Amino acid sequence: MTLNALQVRILDLKKEKDAIILGHNYQRKEVQEISDFLGDSYGLSVQASKTKAKVIVFCGVDFMAESAKILNPEKTVLHPNLKAKCPMAAMVDPESLRALKEEHPGAPVVSYVNTSAEVKAMTDICCTSANAVKIVQSLPDKKIIFVPDTNLGLYVQRFVKDKEIILWPGYCPTHVNITKKDLEELKRKHPGAEVLVHPECSPDVIDFADHAFSTEGIIKHAIASPKKEFIIGTEENMLHRLRKEAPGKVFYSSPNAACPNMREITLEDVRDALLKMQFKIELPADIIKRAKVPLERMIAAGR
C-alpha cells in the first residue's frame, strides 16, 4: 500500500469510527501529517479534554494515552503501539514516591505530566514544561516534591528562589544526549543562529542556549523571532513542524536527538488501531478518579 493510499485509508477509518487523532510534536512526520491536532503534552491534554469524538487515537508515548483516558473515561482511547513508552515516566513508581512523601510530610507533590496514572493519582497537581514554573510559583508551600525530571526541576528552581524543591533522580534520555559541545559546534558553523532548547536538557545546555521553551514555546518563538536561523535542542522530528509553520526560516537539529520510543508508532500502527480497535487504554476507576484532579488543575492553570 502506498503512503498516500495508507493515509486515505486512515482518514476513512477515522470518519467511520468517529475518531480523532492526536499527535505529539515528536512523532514521525508522516504520522504528524494525519493527526487532527499536533502539540506538546499540555496542548494535547487540552484537546483530549475538549474533544467530542467517541474514539481518541493517541500518537505519543504511554503516559500521554493514559492522560487522555483519565480526562475522558467514557471514551475509547487507543495507543497504536504499546512499545511507545516513556523511559522517564518509568523512573518513578508509586511505592518510592510514597516513601519520599513520608520523608517530607505535608509537602505537595508536583508531577510532571510524564508520569504513570498511578503516580498522578498520588499527586497534588501535574505540570508540563510549558507551565512548570507558573505552577510551582503558585503554590503557597515552601517545600515541594517535584517528580520525575531533575533537569526540569532545576530549571524551575532558577525562577523560584523562595522554595525548597525536592528533586527526583529522573531524566529524559533523549534530552540528556543533547550536549553543550554539540550545540557549540553547530553555533560555530551557524554563528547567526539562535539556540532554542527544551527545559529537559541539562543545566549547562540551558545556560548556553538563548532560550529554553516547551516544544510549543519553541514553535511560537521561532515564528515571531526576527532571526532566520535556529539551532533546536529537542527531538529532531520537531523540525518537520517548524519548517511547515515557519517557512523561509532554517532549522538545525542537534545530533543524537532522536527518541526511539516516539518513533515506534507508524502509519500502519494507526491504521491497525482503528481497524481492529486496538490497543485500548484501560485504567481502574479509582486511579482515574484520583489522577483526574491533578490533571484538571494543570489544565486550569494554563500555560
pLDDT of residue 2: 59
C-alpha cell at 284: 481502574
**Is residue 43 scored above 90 in pLDDT?**
no
C-alpha cell at 280: 485500548
Arithmetic mean of pLDDT over the chain: 95
Closest CA to 193 of 208, 175, 176, 203: 208
Q: Which residues pair with 126 in a beta bridge?
A: 111
The percent of residues in the chain predicted with pLDDT above 70, rounded, is: 99
Q: Is there a contact between 196 and 257 (Cβ–Cβ < 8 Å)?
A: no
Closest CA to 25 of 257, 283, 298: 257
Strands 229-233 vs 250-253: parallel, antiparallel or unpaired: parallel
Same fold, 3-85+262-282 and 89-171+289-301: yes
Q: Reply yes or no on domain 178-253 having CATH 3.40.1160.10.
A: no
SS3 146: strand
Q: Is there a contact between 209 and 196 (Cβ–Cβ < 8 Å)?
A: yes
All residues at 6 or more sequence positions from 80 whose CB lies less than 8 Å from its CB, including other chains: 57, 58, 59, 265, 266, 269, 270, 272, 273, 279
Please write the tens of the pLDDT for every residue from 97-154. Answer: 999 999 999 999 999 999 999 999 999 999 999 999 999 999 999 999 999 999 999 9
The architecture in CATH of the region 3-85+262-282 reads 3-Layer(aba) Sandwich (3.40)
Q: Is there a contact between 33 and 7 (Cβ–Cβ < 8 Å)?
A: yes
pLDDT of residue 1: 55
Topology adopted by domain 89-171+289-301 = Rossmann fold (3.40.50)
Which helix (H) or strand (E) covers residue 165, if one does?
strand 164-167
Please write the tens of the pLDDT for every residue from 144-170. Answer: 999 999 999 999 999 999 999 999 999
Average pLDDT estimate for 172-201? 98
Q: Where are the domains of the chain?
A: 3-85+262-282, 89-171+289-301, 178-253
